[in-house]
Chains A and B, each alone.
Chain A
């Protein structure tokens, strides 16, 4: 019995900490410029790393432009991978709600780009992996303006839950424990 109570207390503490952290960030953002506010609503660094990875992956096929545009050649495939990673990075800026899917595809294509583009001297692949992982790890939370407890913190991309602001302590707990 005592154990369960201690666990619940710890959980509550973690949730409160996570909420306090997010509230602090939100407070800072209220006085920040437009760019910072825009950046906070999307996986900015994940998308930026993905765009950089796409450009690096494209570097080798562009150097081999004489043969890269011949369909079927491996350099052409490298060109395709580079363009796709670049587009996925841009899409992560525009559609943050799909960041997990976009991140997974970015990582997959970055690894495959070793064929045909040498993964942008491997640097493109590594940047693509970091960018993709950042996109996967990114989550959007909604803080109710007059909330008193951690229960008011929720993720808006979960459809009904976000609309009704339901309690989802397991999700909040998992995210707060990792922070």
Chain B
């Protein structure tokens, strides 16, 4: 018996129904995240220096490690890696200066008007200007060629006030940015901070 020749085709009705269902599910998920101001695994990096300013940070599970990373000017620049398991930041302000093709400079601002809750914070900083207060601070040295393990500083809790941090990489496992305000302003010159 001859079986015939198989040929495939897309049924538009089925395709549209599946696509609509998928887009609805996506819309629902984005709406839930948008309403709670929650973002998962938010990375910021690979774009050079940006500035992080805040009035107060209360964190637990603090760890400070030496790090070599990429900045806007160099492939390998010395910096410190801050790791905080859970943190609450008051009056957070993140900004980045960018040069437009026309030669003018603009500043992109992200401000959190309400306390920002972060889980699993990893931040590579080139310059830190702040008042720091630690609880159960410990410094640990290890005789190893691995520079990231050679020296570590740990603390149960940390409180940072009036901070200005030049950051090159920021990662948050989960961030709850309530009352976020994003704005762009034009500036005359970009901000530069040189390490002393």
Contact = CB atoms under 8 A, between A and B. Distances in A.
Interface in A140-171: 140-147, 152, 156, 165
Interface stretch (B24-32, B96-104, B128-136, B179-187): B24-32
Interface string B154-196: 0000000000000000010110000000000000000000000
A74 interface: yes
B18 A136 contact: yes
Interface residues of A, number: 56
B4 A144 contact: yes
Given A74-B173, A111-B26, A63 B43 contact: yes
Given A111-B22, A111-B29, A134-B15, A139 B40 contact: no
A137 B151 CA distance: 57
A67 interface: yes
B3 A142 contact: yes
Contacts of B21: 107
Interface of B: 2-16, 18-19, 21-23, 25-26, 29-30, 33, 40-43, 45-46, 120, 122, 171, 173-174
Interface of A: 22, 25-26, 29, 40-43, 45-46, 60, 63-64, 67, 73-75, 77-78, 96, 103-104, 107, 110-111, 114-118, 125, 129-130, 132-134, 136-147, 152, 156, 165, 174-175, 177-179
